[in-house]
Structure 1
Amino acid sequence: MPFLQRLSLNRGDRLLLLAGVVAFFALTFLPGIVSSGHPSGGTGLHLEAAPYSRAATPASPGSAIPPDTFAWSGKGSAAEGGYGSKAVAPAAQQAPQKIPNYPAAAAPTRIVYPAAGLDVTIHPLTPTPEELESQAIVPPITVDGYWVTSFGVPGAGSTNTTYILGHSWEGRDAPFNRLSAASVPGDVFEATTATGTMRYRVDSVDTYVKSSLKDSPIWTGVPNRLVLISCYTEDPWGKNVVVVASPVPEP
């Protein structure tokens, strides 16, 4: 290299200097190249003046917290049983709805939501003591759904709301992606348990700034209410999409 020749360096010195130049460029540019290619997914929420909503539930602003995390309430009806403590989730505040002919309450194992193209297996997810303390939970990074075991189960005899979480993804298809674009109030979907299958009608579809989700009305205990939560695909690191549904009474 001409500039090395003008310095009158011997061969060993030239190689040493060249190695230093290469190391400088690697340290300067490689981290940016590597970080720009990481996949993103999961839930997240960002600060916005007004929430996107297909129903009327507002979202309050707050500071961002890490993506792929779902936060629940630590006050109001939740506090009495300890959503933010190590206690079991509280009994519901509202009287159970009459659901003739529904099978006995049991853990959900599958959700089929035709209008949203959603057909997923549901696994139990029990929050750790640390997650209970922080009021935040991160489901496994899969395309399946996860039922939060410290709350309710669907079916006759239910005493609380059932919460099912699932990740959405950027740059790839995933079942929960479709909640953001395809779900609307009035849709009907099915929840299957070991005791049978129940039909639910969507009451509302809302988005929340992630840090405000834990203080939202969705954490009010309502027997047999079923809530689906994922990240909002138009802002997966900033918002959650929340689908709230109630049982379809059998004739």
Structure 2
Amino acid sequence: MSPNPSHLPSSLILVGAGKMGGSMLEGWLKVGMKPDGVSVLDPRPSDEMTRFCQANGIALNPASPAPADVLVLAIKPQMLDAAAPSLNGYLGPQTLIVSILAGKTIGDLRSRLPAAGAIVRAMPNLPASIGRGATGAAANDAVSEAQRLMADALLSSNGIVEWLPSEDLIDAVTAVSGSGPAYVFHLVECLAEAGTAAGLPPDLAQRLARATVTGAGELLFQSESSPATLRQNVTSPGGTTAAALEVLMRDPDGLKALMREAVAAAKRRAEELAG
């Protein structure tokens, strides 16, 4: 579902304009955010971001921006402590904080930003940079329905948004969708290596593996069928795909068990970082 432009905030401060912050900014403008309502704060903006702000009439590093409807935190998590004192000055009584800082809980933000009230913690993933992200989001009790709609409009400009009933689920989201693109990229690596082992020239195996995974992903994106149904559709009984799936679906050491172990490991590490 496309974001509703009427729910976009009239004023917004983006703190941190790196790859993810910059991608989010581009997404907001594409869905109707007015650039003259946006301020970007970044001590070392890239040349590309500087040109982007100049071309679109976005205030870059204004001397003293007034509190905005929304303050988006997209800096590196380890920068929060140093940035917090100045950030408090950008918060008004009705300012909504949207944070994508990995490992920083709503409690962490409240303790470092005494002026904070309404907070949404979000975990986007890398495909958000091309508008195909998957974001999990959780809100504290101070977030009003109107603020939730604002956050949803901003986050959904880069892909789908799943609202979580509890912040406790953020670590699981991190393990599935946050880290998930890396699992898919590694699948391409492994498939290409297997193709080479089967006799294909390495460059050909790489092209075929890449096209296969991206094509399958696009089919999954466009189809209303479940992943299981799509898998069954390309699996003829007794055929080559079935032979391969017997290995991948073998208990107890098939892909399902390995993926559970991988996601569990990522979730444990997310919990450690949050602690």
Query: What TM-score results when the alignment is normalised by the length of structure 1?
Result: 0.25
Bigger proportion of residues as helix: 2
Higher RCO, Cα 8 Å, sep 6+: 1
Bigger proportion of residues as strand: 1
Between Structure 1 and Structure 2, whose CA radius of gyration is higher? Answer: 1
Query: What TM-score results when the alignment is normalised by the length of structure 2?
Result: 0.23
